[in-house]
Amino acid sequence: MDLLILGESFGHSCYRGTDRGTPQYQEALPEVHPVNQAFLWYVNNPANDGGGIVQDLGQARALIREYGRLTPPQKFELVEMIYDDHKPELAGEFLGFDVTELYCHSILEAGLQFNLERHQRAMEASDAFRSIAPLVRLFKEYFSNRLNEHVLLPDKETADYCLNCAATLMKFDAELFDMPPESLRVIGLHSVAPESE
């Protein structure tokens, strides 16, 4: 099982997908402090390929406990990632499907906000791009209306369709979402039930 340890959203306050804060080294504390030791495990664990993935449930929960003991406490949520049509291994709340790059950058996080400055420049510079601008607006409106209460897509079919549409639009402007289309994938997310006290 692949797990993510995620904090608060950078943008939309209800967003519970992959593009959120992650544990950080606490510079004000010594390296031997339990929080920094937990952080060093987090960044050096074998499953972490740069996307923040962990596979040791016990260690992940220990890290969350340590950050919760800080003053002020830092809160993190443990989320299980589901690929394709697999079922979650752990009990927890189904959050939805994210369209994400490297498990940490999402096109949904800001409610399908694309790079507006680049989009505007492309429209001014290219007749071809100007002609697809209505499709970009249609994409945003269509999928924004399908986001659930966690600012995620409710089912894999809709998420796959979103990914395919985004990839098609990025053929006209590869940086429309500030990420390459070939790096995007659909990930199902389940919040892992909190540890019993």
Mean pLDDT of all residues in 87-95: 88
173: which 2 tokens?
A: 């402007």
| 25 within 8 A of 84, measured Cβ to Cβ | no
**Distance, CA of 89 to CA of 96 (rounded, Å):** 16
The pLDDT tens digits of the residues spanning 125-134 come to 666 666 777 8
163 pLDDT higher than 70:
yes
What is the predicted pLDDT for the residue at 8? 87
Amino acid letter, residue 42:
Y
Distances, alpha carbon 99 to alpha carbons 1, 148, 152, in Å: 19, 14, 8
Question: In whole angstroms, what is the distance from residue 152 CA to residue 170 CA?
Answer: 21
Give residue 113's pLDDT band: very low, low, confident or very high (50, 70, 90). low
What per-residue confidence (pLDDT) applies to 65? Answer: 95
Instruction: Give the model confidence (pLDDT) of 39-85 as tens digits.
Output: 999 998 877 766 688 999 999 999 999 999 999 999 999 999 998 87
pLDDT at 105: 82
Instruction: Between 142 and 127, name the one with better pLDDT.
Output: 142
pLDDT of residue 11: 72
The pLDDT, as a whole number, for residue 182 is 83
Token pair, residue 35, equals 């929080």
Mean pLDDT across the chain:
86
Q: What percent of the chain has pLDDT over 90?
A: 51
